[in-house]
Chains A and B, each alone.
Chain A
Amino acid sequence: MKRRSSHSRLGLNCRAQVKELLRNVQLPNPWSMNTFIDQLETYRQREIDLCAFLWTPGSATGAWHPYATHDVIAYAENTTPAHQDHTIFHEVGHMLAGHTPRCVLSTTEAEGAAPHLRPAALNHLLAAESHALDEYEAELIATILLAQVAKIRPHGPLQRRVEAVFQ
């Protein structure tokens, strides 16, 4: 009961965090993750680098590492764009909730997995660990955000005005 109620509170917190985020960072219409990340950078006043890597069995599908001046989010490139969006949202969820990842790979191992990134930009990136509760929180935030993206209908300004007036 205690565990369940703490998850209920966490669920409410996640929803509140997403609501607060979407008040300041609108989901672009038509949907574009790059545009969303640009807006998120402006909101957080920190750069975010997206890094695609080839997922192989045994590795994580995504990771996030904060640096002094910027954040790096890695995501598996060998899956569909919508699935990649979820992975990125998951890492954004860690970011929003202020989680602290622990790195378990060396720089050499990380460079081997993503050789196209400059070494200075990629350090201790992959296979960062998070607490199980942190994972739940990030996953819920990602699911809520992706569900919002699913509701986006390509609307021009005319459509938006008509709906605003008549509905």
Chain B
Amino acid sequence: MIAGALFYGVAVGAALGALVRLWRLRRATDRQAGIAYCLGLAALAATFTAMAPPTQRLVNQLIPDGGKVLGNALTLTAAFSGLVVTLYSQWPPELATPRVRRRLPWLVLVLVALITTFALPHSTRLTGSFDGLYSSHPELATYTVVYATYLGATLISQGRMFWIFARLAPFFFAVGLRLFVLADALGVLYAAAKLVVLGGHLLTRSTVTAGDTSGVCHQAFSSTSCAVAVGGPATVVIILIGAVFFCLLSVRLDGLAEWISDVRSYRRLTPLWIVVTAAHPEVLNRAAAAGLDTAAENIELRLTKRYVEIRDALLLLSPYRPSGGGDRHRPEEEAELILTALRAERSRQPLPDAQPGPVPGPNGGIERDREWLERVAIAFNRIAPEPTRTAERMTQSAA
């Protein structure tokens, strides 16, 4: 009952996911990839529905052991649809579609082979596991070889692509994609194990079935055969659920990680910001005069504003910087130079005759510049540990 609930629960989740994706197709930039993903989730929903014990019992009543071939056929279809999703992710649609069309006949061929070998007359009544029947029923060995080989090859291709995708993705998204890789790897192991078990049975001409005398595994890992037949696939299912969960939530989780990082950066810049804006409060004046309530803005804007105010103030301080230094010197040196410039300005030293040089910083974008300023701010905090008091002292000494 619990197993049935688990299978049907996953099926409902996959079906809901397919509906959500279908709804999002309206805004999708790549409709073919979006459709492939919908169909993949729908195939997953159908597979889990077919593999649920109550469904298996129902189908087996209509066709003896029909539940097995239905489940296997849908498993291969779901694996193929997963491969299609990776192809449409890897290639633009005009290059992905021919690749899908080249692979589709193989799936059709394999499904025909499964149904044919299953439908051939058997001297023994089939009851789920083919273990013990391979030596007396070579068509069942063919069935298993075709099924396991196609499943393994498809999962290898799929897993390879998910591995490449994961290397390009942000943290939580990469976790989800790597869980897909793990599920694929375990699926390949499962397929390989089926071939090994088959080979063992053929070599020894064994008639031992998996599970009890009826071929039913009452516990997922009660024997090697049951581990291969039931436990392994069940583990793959759980990992697949985790993979889909992480991928779906990764936008929020990576967004949360970015928010935390922004808050951390904002706090790290504070000591430097307090001192340089105390020296040049006019860089804050536009916001103050306009009554802008910066506390109400989101952290992205507040962090960007803080960065700009620091850079504005450092530019205004640049005439008092000692000459020398470039954008490659250490943050500690830069912090010392800023402190020297602040002191020179506050002590009302005359402006040097030379034109102000470039304000040091990395050549990259704002992220690199901000990271640089954070390192400078940390170093600055070490040499001027009480930034507000430092600012007040500088103001008083200037007065």
Contacts and interface: CB of A to CB of B under 8 A. Distances in A.
Interface of A: 3-4, 7, 11, 31, 54-57, 61, 76-83, 85-86, 132-133, 135-136, 139-140, 142-144, 146-147, 149-153, 155-159, 161-167
B304 interface: yes
Contacts of A81: 363-365, 369
B286 A132 contact: yes
A38 to B, nearest CB: 18
Given A162-B168, A164-B30, A78 B305 contact: no
Interface string B23-50: 0000011100110110000000000000
A129 B291 CA distance: 20
A61 B366 contact: no
Contact of B312 (A61, A136, A150, A156): A61
B143 interface: no
A150 B315 contact: no
Contacts of B173: 163, 166-167
7 contacts: A78-B357, A80-B362, A83-B359, A86-B311, A139-B286, A162-B89, A166-B173
Contact of A7 (B251, B292, B312, B316): B292
B329 to A, nearest CB: 14
B1 to A, nearest CB: 33
By CB atoms of chain A within 10 A, which of B164, B318, B366 has the most? B366
Contacts of A153: 170
Interface of B: 28-30, 33-34, 36-37, 85, 88-90, 92, 164-165, 168-170, 173, 176-177, 247-248, 250-251, 286-287, 289-293, 300-301, 303-305, 307-308, 311-312, 314-316, 318-319, 327, 351, 355-370
Nearest to B165: A162
A24 B358 CA distance: 34
B363 A7 contact: no
Contact of A80 (B168, B303, B351, B361): B361
A80 B311 CA distance: 8
Contacts of A163: 169, 173
B297 to A, nearest CB: 9
B311 A161 contact: no
B304 A143 contact: yes
Contacts of B176: 166
A126 to B, nearest CB: 16
The secondary structure that dominates the A interface is: helix
Contacts of A164: 28-30, 33-34
A78 B318 contact: yes
A83 B286 contact: no
A27 to B, nearest CB: 11
A80 B372 CA distance: 11
A7 B327 CA distance: 38
Specify the main secondary structure of chain B where it touches its partner.
helix
B308 A83 contact: yes
A83 B315 contact: yes
A83 B301 contact: no
- Among A139, A147, A158, max chain B CB count under 10 A is at A147
B33 A161 contact: yes
Nearest to A54: B355
Given A83-B315, A152-B365, A165 B30 contact: yes
A5 B150 CA distance: 66
Given A83-B315, A85-B365, 14 more contacts: A57-B351, A61-B312, A77-B358, A82-B307, A82-B366, A86-B308, A132-B290, A139-B287, A143-B305, A150-B300, A152-B365, A158-B90, A161-B88, A167-B173
A83 B311 contact: yes
B292 A162 contact: no
Contacts of A82: 307, 311, 361, 364-366, 368-370
Contacts of B360: 80
A78 B356 contact: yes
Given A80-B359, A167-B250, A167-B251, A133 B290 contact: yes
Nearest to B308: A86
Contact of A150 (B85, B250, B304): B304
A140 B298 CA distance: 13
B290 to A, nearest CB: 4
Given A55-B315, A78-B318, A152-B365, A157 B92 contact: yes
Given A57-B356, A61-B312, A78-B359, A167 B290 contact: no
Contacts of A83: 308, 311-312, 315, 359, 361, 369
Nearest to A140: B292
Contact of B290 (A135, A157, A161): A135
